[in-house]
Structure 1
Amino acid sequence: MPFSHISLRAGKPAAYRQAICDSLYGALRDALDVPEDDQFMVITEHDAASFRYGAAFGIARGDDLVYIQITLFDTRTPLQKKALFQRITERLGTSPGIRPEDVFVTIIPSAKENWSVGHGVAQFA
């Protein structure tokens, strides 16, 4: 039950944004075996003045940088997370063609009881 927030520079066409969502969903299915149609994502676009990055950690990032923040159950292992990082980078490289240097991913673990996915019910508590 991941929830993903994707941030990127403004100006990309709808097909590019859709490819990011499709590739991210595919990576989540590949690495974490998320259920079919478990696609809870939001994309925010930012003008250049509101979207900053640097070359920290020896990585030469560019204007196609995409930040992906994934909140998911705190039951995932470090091995699963590493596999997810790899699959996201591979899939985004294929479509829409984002360089590995421009894929920045963070995971926020959350206890299952912290989720309500509708009807005001804590479905996983």
Structure 2
Amino acid sequence: MPLVRIDLTSDRSSEQRRAIADAVHDALVEVLAIPARDRFQIVTTHDPADIIAEDAGLGFERSPSVVIVHIFTQSGRTTDTKQRVFAALSDKLAAAGVAGTDLFAAISENGPQDWSFGFGVAQYVTGELTVPTTGSG
């Protein structure tokens, strides 16, 4: 059950924003084998001047249309799985018009005690929800 934040520039149309969100979700469904309806995304637009994403020492320039994807998910993913997520994000977002140089992605892991789906309760802890395995979200 990943929670995904997608930050992008406000110069993208609503259709482009949806295509980007769909591409991110498709990558997670493909690599993490999460159910298609297990979708929690926050898409936030920013003035291009409000996203600063410079070279991290890799020697390439980003355009003003950077897309930042932050994935929060259960702990236990292997480095290989994370690498496959990053590759799938790049591939799927390229098809949605996002250059590889304009993608910045991060994965943050946490435990079942860190999730509440409503009512002020951590449902994985109370047993109302089954803790997903690392192969299913």
Segments of 5+ residues of structure 2 without an aligned counterpart are: 126-137
Offset from partner CA, 1:16-62 (integer Å, 9 cap, x none):
00001110110000110111201100111111331112122222211
Equivalent position of 2:4 in the other structure: 4
In the aligned structure 2, how far is the partner of 1:35 from the partner of 1:112? 18
Moved more, 83-92 or 69-78: 69-78
Offset from partner CA, 1:65-104 (integer Å, 9 cap, x none):
1001110001211111110000010000012x11111111
Question: Sequence identity of aligned pairs in percent?
Answer: 31
Aligned residues: 124
Equivalent position of 2:135 in the other structure: none
Q: Which structure's CA Rg is the greater one?
A: 2
Segments of 5+ residues of structure 1 without an aligned counterpart are: none
- SS of aligned partner of 1:20: helix
CA RMSD of aligned residues (A): 1.2
Give the conservation status (yes or no) of the 8 Å contact 2:11–2:48. no
**TM-score computed with the length of structure 2 as normaliser:** 0.85
**TM-score computed with the length of structure 1 as normaliser:** 0.93
Runs of 4+ in 1 over 3 A off after TM superposition: none
In the aligned structure 2, how far is the partner of 1:98 from the partner of 1:36? 22
